[in-house]
């Protein structure tokens, strides 16, 4: 498989000036995404259902706590991004941040799943808020510098898609691994005579927090150590200069004043809200709407491993064949129209009834293919962002990988919580009862759940694609930018 995500033969870079990374470096870089994947999986899929359905806290309170935490944390992203672009050390611009974040992220994630007992709803609201801010701020010091390594590891148009394919592959499979462990191992292990479904046993989540926090620590350290040897080939920070708050923000806004970036930035707002809504509602649909058992939900989760491979393999192929933007638009349209299709068919009375063995296999196949397409779309979008680094450097004269990727995570953090809040309001509009078992949910509430969810998620995704269509940078533009920068460097040396 040449020029793919697993190819060890990328030993020359014919179109860029950065020496290509080795296979070991690519894998180490990608492996680090497990940390963010585990964190995201926990926040997106388990946190709301743990605190609302298991502990009985009002879902809107937890959604509000998560949103406030996201907003407060998002304020740190531009600061960390700019700081890591300009940081000077013997270990380069990025790695000191990565090493320093490992232990605080792991410890705070463990605390989130082990709340104090006997606290009121309002007390648990504040607990979730404080711990969430701590987790998200600490992981910013890892994720932003780590993500910013992608444009530095390779400036080749095709290699970047391959590199980011590995990162998304590990990010999805890492988070998904914890979900599989929950449904296949922990939930069955915590079945008791009084709690016949381990999904509603709080001790299962405590054990999850211990395992997940350990995996987060390992992923960060493997990535930092595995890319450490690459420091000598990374971009140097700018010369020392006197900085003021005004100059810092002036340079940030100059960097981000790029039409193609603004298209990705605005599109990401709608995409992040949709992602937050979709993630928060996933297990409501599997457990309540479809009536799947924890074992069936575990198998659904396992199928995402196939989806991750599908998306990671597709992205470099799509990049080479039709380009990143066109590929993202086509793949995205198919994926986002297809995602709610099983729910629509159920509302129309076409899908088999709950309990019919064929229902599970239909939903699993649809979910596996659609998730693979969504992963491919995400990889292409991230690679489009990476290509803006040189485009901005042409205009500003500065390398600003950290700022670009910080802006991306800023959007994910600052508005994804709106998806969680939206999920809370969808549940409220559907008059979905809290703290009850799947067989106690009225059929009318399940129908209302689908009727409110489908148009909401489609509006968000299709708006995202419409905005993304204004992105302009193509392969030819990127290669012209590389030639222009090489020419400037040559003239500076002369």
Task: Report the C-alpha gap between 87 and 81 in whole angstroms.
Answer: 10
407-464 pLDDT tens trace? 777 776 667 667 878 888 888 888 887 666 666 778 888 889 999 999 999 999 999 9
Task: Report the C-alpha gap between 54 and 48 in whole angstroms.
Answer: 9
Q: Summarize the confidence of residues 13-25 as an average pLDDT.
A: 67
Q: How confident is the model at residue 283 (pLDDT cuts 50, 70, 90)?
A: confident
pLDDT confidence of residue 32: 94
Q: Summarize the confidence of residues 143-155 as an average pLDDT.
A: 87
Tokens 């030639």, residue? Answer: 483
User: Under a CB-based contact definition with an 8 Å cutoff, are residues 25 and 36 in contact?
Assistant: no
Residues 222, 45, 414, 381: is their CA dihedral positive or negative? positive
- Candidate ranges 104-118, 234-248, 398-412, 413-427; pick with highest mean pLDDT: 104-118
User: Under a CB-based contact definition with an 8 Å cutoff, are residues 289 and 343 in contact?
Assistant: yes
Q: How confident is the model at residue 248 (pLDDT cuts 50, 70, 90)?
A: low
Task: Report the C-alpha gap between 24 and 31 in whole angstroms.
Answer: 10
pLDDT confidence of residue 428: 84
**Per-residue pLDDT for 15 more than 80?**
no
Q: 407 CB contacts (<8 Å, ≥6 apart)?
A: 77, 78, 81, 256, 261, 265
Residues 88, 91, 92, 93: is their CA dihedral positive or negative? negative
Task: Report the C-alpha gap between 286 and 343 in whole angstroms.
Answer: 11
Question: Greater confidence, 166 or 418?
Answer: 166
Q: 51 CB contacts (<8 Å, ≥6 apart)?
A: 57, 62, 115, 124, 128
Task: Report the C-alpha gap between 389 and 406 in whole angstroms.
Answer: 13
Q: Summarize the confidence of residues 250-261 as an average pLDDT.
A: 76
**Per-residue pLDDT for 487 more than 70?**
yes
Question: Greater confidence, 223 or 259?
Answer: 223
User: Under a CB-based contact definition with an 8 Å cutoff, are residues 81 and 121 in contact?
Assistant: no
User: Under a CB-based contact definition with an 8 Å cutoff, are residues 377 and 164 in contact?
Assistant: no
48-64 pLDDT tens trace? 888 988 888 888 888 88
Find the largest Cα–Cα distance for the chain: 79
Question: Greater confidence, 490 or 177?
Answer: 177
How far does the chain reach from its first CA to its final CA, in angstroms?
A: 41
pLDDT confidence of residue 96: 93
**Per-residue pLDDT for 279 more than 50?**
yes
User: Under a CB-based contact definition with an 8 Å cutoff, are residues 285 and 123 in contact?
Assistant: no
**Per-residue pLDDT for 161 more than 80?**
yes
**Per-residue pLDDT for 7 more than 60?**
no
User: Under a CB-based contact definition with an 8 Å cutoff, are residues 425 and 417 in contact?
Assistant: no
Q: Summarize the confidence of residues 35-43 as an average pLDDT.
A: 90
Q: 398 CB contacts (<8 Å, ≥6 apart)?
A: 85, 238, 251, 255, 392
Tokens 């999904």, residue? Answer: 199
**Per-residue pLDDT for 174 more than 70?**
yes
**Per-residue pLDDT for 467 more than 90?**
yes
pLDDT confidence of residue 455: 93
Task: Report the C-alpha gap between 255 and 253 in whole angstroms.
Answer: 5
**Per-residue pLDDT for 9 more than 50?**
no
Q: How confident is the model at residue 14 (pLDDT cuts 50, 70, 90)?
A: very low
**Per-residue pLDDT for 197 more than 90?**
no
User: Under a CB-based contact definition with an 8 Å cutoff, are residues 254 and 129 in contact?
Assistant: no
What Rg do the C-alpha atoms of the chain give, in angstroms?
22
pLDDT confidence of residue 232: 82
**Per-residue pLDDT for 213 more than 90?**
yes
Question: Greater confidence, 56 or 216?
Answer: 216
Q: Summarize the confidence of residues 101-126 as an average pLDDT.
A: 93
Task: Report the C-alpha gap between 304 and 292 in whole angstroms.
Answer: 16
User: Under a CB-based contact definition with an 8 Å cutoff, are residues 394 and 485 in contact?
Assistant: yes
Q: How confident is the model at residue 493 (pLDDT cuts 50, 70, 90)?
A: low
Mean predicted lDDT score pLDDT of the chain: 85
Q: Summarize the confidence of residues 307-332 as an average pLDDT.
A: 93
pLDDT confidence of residue 79: 82
Q: Write out the two tokens for 113.
A: 């799943």
pLDDT confidence of residue 4: 39
Question: Greater confidence, 490 or 426?
Answer: 426
- Candidate ranges 71-85, 116-130, 246-260; pick with highest mean pLDDT: 116-130
Q: How confident is the model at residue 280 (pLDDT cuts 50, 70, 90)?
A: confident
250 class by beta-carbon count within 10 Å (0-12 exposed, 13-18 middle, 19+ buried): exposed
Tokens 């670009």, residue? Answer: 404
pLDDT confidence of residue 478: 87
Task: Report the C-alpha gap between 363 and 476 in whole angstroms.
Answer: 41
Tokens 């700022």, residue? Answer: 403
pLDDT confidence of residue 3: 36
Residues of the chain with pLDDT > 70, as a percent, come to 91
CA 300 centroid distance within chain: 19
Q: What single DSSP character describes residue 42?
A: I
Task: Report the C-alpha gap between 284 and 387 in whole angstroms.
Answer: 38
CA 236 centroid distance within chain: 28
Task: Report the C-alpha gap between 302 and 76 in whole angstroms.
Answer: 34
Task: Report the C-alpha gap between 228 and 154 in whole angstroms.
Answer: 15
Q: Summarize the confidence of residues 173-192 as an average pLDDT.
A: 87
């Amino acid at each position: 498989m040449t020029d793919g995500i697993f190819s060890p033969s990328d030993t020359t870079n014919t179109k860029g000036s950065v020496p290509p990374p080795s296979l070991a470096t690519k894998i180490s870089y990608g492996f680090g995404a497990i940390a963010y994947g585990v964190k995201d999986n926990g926040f997106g899929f388990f946190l709301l259902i743990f605190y609302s359905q298991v502990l009985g806290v009002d879902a809107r309170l937890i959604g509000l706590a998560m949103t406030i935490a996201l907003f407060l944390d998002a304020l740190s992203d531009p600061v960390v991004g700019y700081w890591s672009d300009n940081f000077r050390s013997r270990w380069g611009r990025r790695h000191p941040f990565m090493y320093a974040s490992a232990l605080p992220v792991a410890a705070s994630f463990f605390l989130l799943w082990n709340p104090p007992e006997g606290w009121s709803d309002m007390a648990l609201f504040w607990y979730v808020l404080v711990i969430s801010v701590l987790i998200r701020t600490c992981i910013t010091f890892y994720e932003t510098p780590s993500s910013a390594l992608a444009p530095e590891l390779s400036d080749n148009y095709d290699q970047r898609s391959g590199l980011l394919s590995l990162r998304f592959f590990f990010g999805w499979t890492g988070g998904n691994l914890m979900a599989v462990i929950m449904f296949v191992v922990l939930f069955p292990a915590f079945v008791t005579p009084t709690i016949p479904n381990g999904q509603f046993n709080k001790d299962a989540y405590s054990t999850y927090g211990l395992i997940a926090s350990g995996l987060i620590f390992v992923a960060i350290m493997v990535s930092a150590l595995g890319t450490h040897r690459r420091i000598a080939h990374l971009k140097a920070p700018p010369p020392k200069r006197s900085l003021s708050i005004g100059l810092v923000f002036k340079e940030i806004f100059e960097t981000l004043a790029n039409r193609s970036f603004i298209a990705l930035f605005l599109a990401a707002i709608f995409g992040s809200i949709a992602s937050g809504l979709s993630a928060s509602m996933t297990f409501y649909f599997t457990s309540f709407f479809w009536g799947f058992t924890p074992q069936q939900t575990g198998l659904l989760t396992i199928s995402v491993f196939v989806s991750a491979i599908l998306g990671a393999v597709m992205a470099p192929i799509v990049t080479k064949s039709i380009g990143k933007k066109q590929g993202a638009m086509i793949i995205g349209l198919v994926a986002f129209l297809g995602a709610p299709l099983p729910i629509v068919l159920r509302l129309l009375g076409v899908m088999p009834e709950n309990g019919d063995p064929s229902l599970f296999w239909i939903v699993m196949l649809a979910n596996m293919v659609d998730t693979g397409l969504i992963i491919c779309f995400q990889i292409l979008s991230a690679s489009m962002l990476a290509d803006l680094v040189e485009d901005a450097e042409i205009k500003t004269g500065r390398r600003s990988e950290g700022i670009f990727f910080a802006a991306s995570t800023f959007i994910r953090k600052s508005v994804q919580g709106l998806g969680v809040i939206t999920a809370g309001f969808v549940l409220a509009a559907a008059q979905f009862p809290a703290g009850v078992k799947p067989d106690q949910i009225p059929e009318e509430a399940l129908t209302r759940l689908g009727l409110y969810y489908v148009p909401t998620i489609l509006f968000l995704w299709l708006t995202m694609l419409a905005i993304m269509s204004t992105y302009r940078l193509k392969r030819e533009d990127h290669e012209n930018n590389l030639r222009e920068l090489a020419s400037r460097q040559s003239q500076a040396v002369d």
